[in-house]
Amino acid sequence: MAEAATNRASARAEQRPITALRGVGSALAERLQRLGVTQVQDLLFVLPLRYEDRTRVWPIGSLTPGTRAAVEGEIQLTEVAYRKRRQLLCRISDGSGFLTLRFFYFSAAQQERLTRGTRLRCFGEVRRGPFGLEIVHPEYRRVLEQAAPLEDTLTPIYPLTEGVPQGRLRALIGQALCELESRSVRDWIPPQVSEPLGLPPLKDALTYVHTPPREAQQAQLAAGRHPAQRRLAFEELLAHHLTLKLRKRAAKTDPASPLVDREGLARRFIAALPFRLTGAQARALRDVDADLAASLPMVRLLQGDVGCGKTVVAAAAAARAAGSGLQAALMAPTELLAEQHWRTFRNWFQPLGLPVALLSGSQPARLRRSALETIASGELRIIVGTHALFQEGIEFAQLALVIVDEQHRFGVQQRLRLQEKAQKHGCFPHQLIMTATPIPRTLAMTAYADLDISVIDELPPGRTPVKTVVVPEQRRDEVVARIVTACRAGRQVYWVCPLIDESDELRYQAAEETATALAQALPEVRVGLVHGRMPPAKKDEAMLAFQAGKIQLLVATTVIEVGVDVSNATLMVVENAERMGLAQLHQLRGRVGRGTEASTCVLLYRAPLSELARERLKAIRETNDGFEIARRDLELRGPGELLGTRQTGLAQLRVADLMRDADMLPRVQETAELLLASYPDNIAALAARWIGSGERYGRVG
Ligand code: ADP
Ligand code: MG
């Protein structure tokens, strides 16, 4: 009790508005707010992006282009020149060489002060200019005496916001650091946690990162691996993890309708399937069933590599909702995928006497109106659609289950809007969120701490791994010949068209031209085309024809990347594969190898390959395993889209880095439990410090 009271008291002591600092008026305070700074203490948590070493002055003669360095010299000449643009040139010398300072923006007063003979200390990036080495827009100041004192710490470079110059921000943070001496910031992590981890106390960590001594290991700092940085990263990860956990807890106090499948639809659905569920699918479905039977809302992430069969699990859950007289909606990120799911669901549910509605943005008004009516009346219990599902004017009779496919394609906001639609009579919907994003378990448990997680870690039996070959563009003819062979054997083929960055228009044009050219080259093959710009009816027609085998070769843009499922397709050709990311290639390749036949993916590339492209193609050729590909992708370019964490709060980390700091995650999770159990009063302060007062996450679940 006493502890809690002190915590609250010192939390209050930390609440000093930023305007309490000398020289901070309301205008500056407003600008600082954009950096998340409202309290004096917040300044300490604006952390440097990097450091510069201004602790020594370099002889001008020793400079090389590309380095960032401090130099000192006397002005030889200052002049305004007109080369394309008006500019101020100022030449300095220190006896070892000359350096030009170039300013495109300058005031008359500034120009006047840069008189011949003035000593300047400058800092900036040295580059090669028309008259030898130069620095464009250096930071500079006049020095009066010969041996003006140098910086004795590395210089932090902070993230900027408009109207708060670097120097000003640095000075403000300096003031906050001075206060650290007299008013301590509260360390919300108990020492029994931080000490065994070898992490310094908060105050030491803050002082170090804002003012690292000149002998600091700069490489370690740049890599973010100094214990002071790790201490802060730990705290940040902890704050996010706790916020997500609390959000989950809060969700678990909301009421939801338990789904009791009186009509036995889910059971009948599973029994009627032409295949048996894999062990992993059955386990995931058991998790889902247990959640759905409860009167608390399910918030479950269903994770599994492309082709593992997530859709069946979702369909079983939807059948259960329908069987209990309520509605289920499945939201897909593209119309193509929504339509495909709708067809799949229709095939599965028609025998059970369950109609399925489709809602997409491009539906004819008449169809849409009748769909809306049956959805509002509750007559239709299973609804498939794109984000059109949560638009104005759509009323559900009682939506009890929300299923989101390919979650990484949606923003958190979109998911929330659908959830809001479903909130009726104080009841919250169950949510099943599906993703093919392979993300290691410890990472998932942190990034998705607000969700329960089920993993499908097994592919349906009888799949032969896709063979991937990398072929230069010059051998395109051989590849085209392969298409004939595949089609003669009764198989089908995807041809994925190059990515053209310039414009969508060109991309579609290229797809059309490729389709025409291939149709000419392959008179015996029935060629179809699908791209995002086609009228929906045409797109639909092409997909249906491909699914029915009427089209043998489908030329497509990357619209087919997510979800498309035609198991007779056994050959995929990807043009300009060198331009695509690993995640995208893996997703695309997931369109083949869906049946029992052996499949091949041909990656066509145009030379010369960059180092990165070469590594990517090597990785995709060597493995089919999504987790392994994710790992390599991280190695190659750092945590990116593949992680799928962009849509989570963890995308906004300030010091922490999920991959780099992954080793701390188990301890972060343990510490979160400890704080929840023994130091609950520390949590709000910790969250406020790192995340703000919760507005970044909003109310979720
Ligand atoms: P994803 O997880 O990538 O969404 P899908 O749900 O599209 O995968 O399933 C891929 C293919 O595997 C579909 O054609 C589906 O019908 C089939 N499938 C799913 N589960 C099984 C299973 N247990 N046995 C055989 N085939 C299955
Ligand atoms: Mg899918």
CA of 352 relative to ligand 1 center, distance in Å: 20
Name the domain boundary from 567, 595, 623.
Answer: 623
Residue 28 structure tokens? 């500056």
Residue 1 banded pLDDT, cuts 50, 70, 90 = very low
Domain range for residue 405? 268-456
Q: How far apart are CA 466 and CA 213, in angstroms?
A: 54
Which residue has a Cα nearest atom 20 of ligand 1?
309
Of the segments 84-93, 238-247, 314-323, 564-573, which one has the largest average pLDDT value?
314-323
Residue 40 structure tokens? 């004096």
Q: What are the two backbone dihedrals, phi and then psi, of residue 500, each rounded to the nearest 5 degrees?
A: -110, 120
> Are 181 and 291 in a shared domain?
no
Strands 452-456 and 299-304: parallel
Query: Does 48 or 538 have the greater pLDDT score?
Result: 48
Closest to 302 (Cα-Cα) out of 275, 327, 330, 325:
330
* pLDDT (0 to 100) of residue 146: 66
Q: What is the CA radius of gyration of the chain?
A: 31
* pLDDT (0 to 100) of residue 541: 84
Q: How far apart are CA 314 and CA 301, in angstroms?
A: 11
> Are 301 and 325 in a shared domain?
yes
**Contact between residue 206 and residue 177 where contact means Cβ atoms under 8 Å apart:** yes
Query: Does 463 or 76 have the greater pLDDT score?
Result: 76
* pLDDT (0 to 100) of residue 533: 79
Taking residues 547-555, what's their average pLDDT? 93
* pLDDT (0 to 100) of residue 642: 40
Name the domain boundary from 592, 623, 654.
Answer: 623
DSSP notation for 587-630: HHHTTSS-SSS--EEEEEE-SSPPHHHHHHHHHHHH---HHHHH
Task: Please tell me whether residue 258 adopts helix, strand or coil conformation.
Answer: coil
Q: Is residue 129 assigned to a domain?
A: yes
Query: Does 587 or 403 have the greater pLDDT score?
Result: 403
* pLDDT (0 to 100) of residue 403: 95
Taking residues 386-392, what's their average pLDDT? 81
Residue 701 banded pLDDT, cuts 50, 70, 90 = very low
CA of 285 relative to ligand 1 center, distance in Å: 14
Residue 296 banded pLDDT, cuts 50, 70, 90 = very high
In single-letter form, the type of residue at position 349 comes to: F
Residues with CB under 6 A from ligand 1: 275-278, 281, 304, 306-312, 436, 460, 563, 565, 567, 594
Q: Is residue 233 assigned to a domain?
A: no
Percent of the chain with pLDDT over 70: 89
Strands 85-93 and 98-103: antiparallel
pLDDT digits (tens, 9 = 90+) for 663-695: 898 899 999 999 999 998 889 888 888 886 544
> Are 37 and 185 in a shared domain?
yes
Percent of the chain with pLDDT over 90: 45
Q: Is residue 252 assigned to a domain?
A: no
Taking residues 265-285, what's their average pLDDT? 96
Point out which residues pair with 81 in neighbouring strands: 87
Which residue has a Cα nearest atom 16 of ligand 1?
309
> Are 133 and 161 in a shared domain?
no
CA 314 to ligand 1: nearest atom: 6
Q: Is residue 359 assigned to a domain?
A: yes
CA of 291 relative to ligand 2 center, distance in Å: 21
DSSP notation for 403-463: EESSGGGS-HHHHHHHHHHH-BTTBBPEEEEEE-----HHHHHHHTTTSEEEEE--PPTTP
Taking residues 323-335, what's their average pLDDT? 92
Q: Is residue 546 assigned to a domain?
A: yes
Which residue has a Cα nearest atom 4 of ligand 1?
310
Closest to 307 (Cα-Cα) out of 458, 175, 473:
458
Is the pLDDT assigned to residue 287 strictly greater than 50? yes
Is the pLDDT assigned to residue 282 strictly greater than 70? yes
Name the domain boundary from 190, 223, 256.
Answer: 223
> Are 142 and 176 in a shared domain?
no
> Are 97 and 170 in a shared domain?
no
Closest to 7 (Cα-Cα) out of 178, 180, 183, 185:
185
CA of 332 relative to ligand 2 center, distance in Å: 9
Is the pLDDT assigned to residue 616 strictly greater than 70? yes
> Are 307 and 398 in a shared domain?
yes
Taking residues 201-216, what's their average pLDDT? 92
Instruction: Say which DSSP state 185 is in.
Output: P
Is the pLDDT assigned to residue 70 strictly greater than 60? yes
* pLDDT (0 to 100) of residue 503: 63
> Are 489 and 590 in a shared domain?
yes
Residue 193 banded pLDDT, cuts 50, 70, 90 = confident
Taking residues 422-439, what's their average pLDDT? 81
Closest to 557 (Cα-Cα) out of 602, 523, 522, 588:
588
Taking residues 100-125, what's their average pLDDT? 92
CA of 309 relative to ligand 1 center, distance in Å: 3
Q: Is residue 478 assigned to a domain?
A: yes
* pLDDT (0 to 100) of residue 392: 73
> Are 366 and 515 in a shared domain?
no
Q: Measuring CA to CA, how many Å separate 130 from each of 79, 101, 122, 177, 623? A: 15, 12, 20, 43, 50
* pLDDT (0 to 100) of residue 652: 65
**Contact between residue 248 and residue 299 where contact means Cβ atoms under 8 Å apart:** yes
Q: What is the mean pLDDT of the chain?
A: 86
* pLDDT (0 to 100) of residue 472: 95
Is the pLDDT assigned to residue 254 strictly greater than 90? no
Q: Which ligand is nearest to the CA of 406?
A: 2
- Helix axis angle, 265-272 to 310-323, nearest 10°: 150
Q: How far is CA 47 from the centre of its chain?
A: 21
**Contact between residue 304 and residue 280 where contact means Cβ atoms under 8 Å apart:** yes
DSSP notation for 122-176: EEEEEEEETTEEEEES-EEEE--STTPPPPSBPEEE---BTTB-HHHHHHHHHHH
Closest to 313 (Cα-Cα) out of 438, 435, 444:
435
Contacts 24+ apart (CB under 8 A), 13-22: 13/183, 14/39, 14/41, 14/183, 14/185, 14/186, 14/685, 15/39, 15/41, 16/40, 16/41, 16/183, 18/42, 18/43, 21/172, 21/175, 21/176, 22/175
Domains held by the chain: number: 4
Q: Is residue 656 assigned to a domain?
A: no
Residue 382 banded pLDDT, cuts 50, 70, 90 = very high
Query: Does 604 or 2 have the greater pLDDT score?
Result: 604
* pLDDT (0 to 100) of residue 430: 94
> Are 80 and 138 in a shared domain?
yes
Q: How far apart are CA 370 and CA 248, in angstroms?
A: 37
Indicate the length of the chain as a whole number: 701
Domain harbouring 601, CATH code: 3.40.50.300
Domain harbouring 83, CATH code: 2.40.50.140
> Are 90 and 75 in a shared domain?
yes
List, as ranges, residues with CB under 5 A of the ion ligand 2. 563
Q: How far apart are CA 329 and CA 453, in angstroms?
A: 20
CA 306 to ligand 1: nearest atom: 3
Task: Please tell me whether residue 399 adopts helix, strand or coil conformation.
Answer: strand
Residue 640 banded pLDDT, cuts 50, 70, 90 = very low
Is the pLDDT assigned to residue 317 strictly greater than 60? yes
**Contact between residue 346 and residue 356 where contact means Cβ atoms under 8 Å apart:** yes
pLDDT digits (tens, 9 = 90+) for 474-498: 999 999 999 999 999 999 999 998 7
Q: Measuring CA to CA, how many Å separate 296 from each of 301, 319, 404, 416, 582? A: 16, 19, 19, 17, 38
Q: Which ligand is nearest to the CA of 569?
A: 1
Q: Is residue 558 assigned to a domain?
A: yes
> Are 115 and 142 in a shared domain?
yes
pLDDT digits (tens, 9 = 90+) for 10-69: 545 567 888 988 889 999 999 888 888 888 888 999 999 889 888 889 999 999 998 889
